[in-house]
Amino acid sequence: MPTVYSVIRRPLITEKALTTREVQGALVFEVAANASKSEVKQAVEQLFKVKVASIRTASVVGKERRRGKFAGYLPDWKKAYVRLKAGEKVPDFAAEL
């Protein structure tokens, strides 16, 4: 099994992610592109000591970026929306936002 930090890359702290946390009660993470839902669930439960109710994942296609006449693409990546079970405490990094 991969390590916790190779599955969860970083929490996403964007306006959309904060709105999702307030409205739906879901935390948003950037995860490894080849990570499955069960691996993400195990990693979140192990890292933050909480119980996970459900997980939704989305693969994000990299955008085109240009520098003058030169064009390239940002890499594709994957994000996970993690909903905690009722009564679970939100991790400290998300509670302070």
Q: What CATH number has the domain bearing residue 77?
A: 3.30.70.330
Evaluate if residue 2 carries a pLDDT over 90.
no
* pTM to 2 decimal places: 0.87
- In angstroms, rounded to a whole number, what is the distance separating the alpha carbons of residues 12 and 93? 11
Instruction: Confirm whether 48 is domain-assigned.
Output: yes
Burial of 48 (0-12, 13-18, 19+ CB in 10 A): buried
How many structural domains is the chain composed of?
1
- Where does the pLDDT of residue 94 fall: very low under 50, low under 70, confident under 90, or very high at 90 and above? confident
Whether residue 95 is contained in a domain is answered as no
| Residue 68 within any structural domain of the chain | yes
- The reply to whether 64 falls in a domain is yes
The answer as to whether 15 is a domain residue is yes
Q: For the chain, how long is the longest CA-to-CA vector?
A: 53
* 79 domain-assigned: yes
Is the per-residue pLDDT at 50 higher than 80? yes
CA dihedral 36, 37, 42, 44 (to 10 degrees): 110
Spatial separation of the C-alpha atoms in residues 64 and 35, rounded to whole Å: 24
- Look up the domain containing 12 and give its range: 4-87
In a domain, 83, yes or no: yes
